[in-house]
Structure 1
Amino acid sequence: MDSVNLPKASRRSFLKKGAAAGSFVAASTLAAPAVLGQAPIVMKMQTSWPASDIWMDFARQYVERVEAMSGGRLKVDLLPAGAVVGAFQVLDACNDGVLDAAHSVPVYWYGKSKAASLFGTGPVFGGSATTMLAWFNAGGGAEFYRELTQDILGLNVVGFLGFPMFAQPFGWFKKEVNTVADIQGFKYRTVGLAADLMQAMGMSVAQLPGGEIVPAMERGVIDAFEFNNPSSDSRFGAQDVAKNYYLSSYHQASESFEFLFNKDFFNDLPPDLQAILRHSVEAASTANTASAMDNYSADLLKLEKDSGVSVRRTSSEILDAQIKAWDKLIGELEADAFMKKVLDSQRAWVERVTYYELMNSPDYALAYNHYFPGKLKL
């Protein structure tokens, strides 16, 4: 991905002028608190999602929290993919100051560095997305992310991760796929290191943003695909171009949203507004999870009942082949010193944390089958 060829637009002078104007108003209006004399700071934030995608709703949950906690001092102009730049170009736009902020995923700038994929769509050592978001926040991942974006790539951005996504389905197919032989030669849509993984398993891969998937399927550019979840998939019409939906996969099992900011814009904000932008990620993460549980589960049932979609779990043969393909790919990735450092950190975290998680977790399927017998398709 090349840099966005748009003029750079620093907010630094604007914010300083706004602060100066606020001081003048405060000095000349003795009866009113200074904050009332200041115009709100407007943050231009674009997502990587079509306007109709449920992830735009998730981005709005973030915006609502930022605006409420800032008491009106910070307003967010939230825009869908394509409003200013393409879905895969938001990082460049934040770096250049064309955007103040973005709501995306690190894998969308995989073209700059394959290491981007380690912050959401990398190898699955056994940890869930919640496990790996905890690694980002408490296990050293945030510093690795800063090192990659600012030191290695020299980008003028600040970023945080939030909302641990549920493991992404293997995806949509026109016919049943139960063995590795069944998927040979498929033209398949995915992104990031998952593309390397699927190519190693015998598929050819096209990396496309969500809004381009169904048109590509209709034109025959691809003949199978994954995006993320039942709500997003059904909103862009996946059920109209394929009827076999396979849940569970190791290709993207631990992803989170990326909340990106132009570094100059972020650093020029008062400390309390910086804290609001940072900690609203955590607040929205909880809200997003609740909304995802509600919508994803309801939309999965609608796909089955209303659209005639056959919902299955991916076969053990294909899952086992994915793990073995990851093994080979990990060896190649570790030739890069930075990626080896990150992978070593993730392995150590998963070994310790997931040991506790698995040892402590009861068998939820056992209880579910007791109360809802015959429903699980295992």
Structure 2
Amino acid sequence: MTQETTPPTNKTDKASRRRFIAGLGGATAGVAAGSIAMPNVSRAQTTTLRFQSTWPARDIFHEFAGDYAKTVNELAGGRLKLELLPSGAVVGALQLQDAVIAGALDGGHGVTAYWYGKNPAFSLFGTPPALGWKANHMLGWVKYGGGQALYDELVRDVLKLDLVGFLTGPMPSQPLGWFKKEISSPDDMRGLKYRTVGLGADLNKEMGVAVTIMGAGDIVPALDRGLLDGAEFNNPSSDKALGFQDVTKTYMVGSYHQSAEMFEIIFNKKKFDSLPKELQTVLRVASESASADMSWKAMDRYSKDLEALKAAGVKVVKTPDSVLLAQLAAWDKVIAAKSADPFFKKVLDSQKDWARRVLGFEAEYEVRTDLAYKHFFG
């Protein structure tokens, strides 16, 4: 399938692409090819890292990647600079991880669901089962529930990838998507040609959906040409920027296929390890700072852009409970099948333990918000 096709912007980009392709030709997927050890960088020098997102330049997700790069550059005090590139500048969205491993890029910003093909457990760190949790609960699991250690184990020990990664940026539950006509029951989903990613693809297949996986920039053209009957990407701001409202006016919101997702920031491990410890710390701490800022920016931008979509004639429809219940039943089947893999089960059991305790606490301890909202806003 095609991905973002923004042409390289300079000779360096073209050379990087050639090195990347040549490197992959002599190595199995997921193994670093032709990496060159970098010398230690003196305190007087500026180290520039080529850092590509998996998002089109017009997408708010690329803006989030830019916010992270800006934070790194400011904290590093001139000693380290991330040079941000959009999807397609060196490689397409779904080739980012291999490009970072091979050294064609030093780092990147994306989601773990894009690496589902290497190991389904990757998707647990981005599109896990709907355990009743939201993305910020999941980031709590990453930070304090053992999630980061399990992610590191997957990357380092299970797959032996030459990568260092940080999980960041909580996303709201994603929409069911954009459709030619309203989805009123699970039967309406059967046989639909539909775009999603990660474990959400398995979930929809269990529901009889014909799933296609593609990068962000290809979705709307495919929907416009009838190659897709429906599709989801992520949020009102991204969806508006990608132009979904230009090809359909039915926006189904609320879904269990991706009820908790977050971003992944990755770096080539050799390049990361060559940096002074304080700059490694900058890269890590900046991911946490950018994560918090993103959660607040999303509140502002997503709510405004949903109102703008409504003003443009988009019909926003809550996904009916019958579809949500069918999704939960499908999750049972996906979990049962995937848990035959011991590492997948290990990660999922850890997530369940965290969600059971933390969400149980919130249900018992926190006051209801819906009553207060209805009181003041109707």
* Displacement of 1:253: 1.0
Instruction: Say whether the 8 Å CA contact 2:256–2:327 is kept in structure 1.
Output: yes
Question: 2:81, 2:227 → 1: CA distance?
Answer: 41
**Alignment counterpart, residue 267 of structure 1, candidates 261, 269, 273:** 273
The code of the aligned residue for 1:148 comes to L
- After superposition, the Cα gap between the structure-2 partners of 1:6 and 1:285, relative to the gap in structure 1 and judged at 3 Å, is farther
Question: 1:359, 1:145 → 2: CA distance?
Answer: 30
2:194 partner SS: strand
| Aligned pairs, number | 352
**Structure 1 position 5 matched with structure 2 position 21:** yes
* Displacement of 1:153: 0.9
Question: 1:4, 1:201 → 2: CA distance?
Answer: 38
Instruction: Say whether the 8 Å CA contact 2:50–2:82 is kept in structure 1.
Output: yes
Partner of 1:368: 373
Partner of 2:203: 197
Partner of 1:248: 254
1:155 partner SS: coil
* Displacement of 1:128: 1.1
Partner of 2:28: none
Q: Which moved more, 1:140-149 or 1:270-279?
A: 140-149
**Alignment counterpart, residue 350 of structure 2, candidates 315, 333, 345:** 345
Question: 2:310, 2:243 → 1: CA distance?
Answer: 14
Question: 1:107, 1:4 → 2: CA distance?
Answer: 22
**Structure 1 position 101 matched with structure 2 position 107:** yes
**Structure 1 position 289 matched with structure 2 position 305:** no
Q: State the TM-score, normalized to the length of structure 1.
A: 0.91
Structure 2 unpaired stretches of 5+? 2-18, 24-32
* Displacement of 1:10: 3.7
* Displacement of 1:210: 0.7
Partner of 2:330: 325
1:344 partner SS: helix
The code of the aligned residue for 2:107 comes to A
- After superposition, the Cα gap between the structure-2 partners of 1:324 and 1:105, relative to the gap in structure 1 and judged at 3 Å, is same
Instruction: Say whether the 8 Å CA contact 2:191–2:208 is kept in structure 1.
Output: yes
Partner of 1:24: none
| Percent pairwise identity | 48
Question: 2:20, 2:188 → 1: CA distance?
Answer: 40
Question: 1:360, 1:242 → 2: CA distance?
Answer: 42
* Displacement of 1:183: 1.6
Question: 1:9, 1:96 → 2: CA distance?
Answer: 7
Q: State the TM-score, normalized to the length of structure 2.
A: 0.91
Partner of 1:228: 234
The code of the aligned residue for 2:326 comes to A
Q: Which moved more, 1:291-300 or 1:352-361?
A: 352-361
Please identify the structure whose Cα radius of gyration is greater: 1
**Structure 1 position 84 matched with structure 2 position 90:** yes
Question: 2:288, 2:101 → 1: CA distance?
Answer: 23
Instruction: Say whether the 8 Å CA contact 2:182–2:252 is kept in structure 1.
Output: no
**Structure 1 position 308 matched with structure 2 position 313:** yes
The code of the aligned residue for 1:329 comes to V
- After superposition, the Cα gap between the structure-2 partners of 1:6 and 1:284, relative to the gap in structure 1 and judged at 3 Å, is farther
Q: Which moved more, 1:4-13 or 1:95-104?
A: 4-13
Question: 2:140, 2:97 → 1: CA distance?
Answer: 23
1:44 partner SS: strand
* Displacement of 1:360: 2.3
Question: 1:219, 1:9 → 2: CA distance?
Answer: 41
Deviations 1:104-151 (A, max 9, x none): 000011111111111010211111111111111111111111111111
Question: 2:130, 2:198 → 1: CA distance?
Answer: 14
Instruction: Say whether the 8 Å CA contact 1:10–1:265 is kept in structure 2.
Output: no
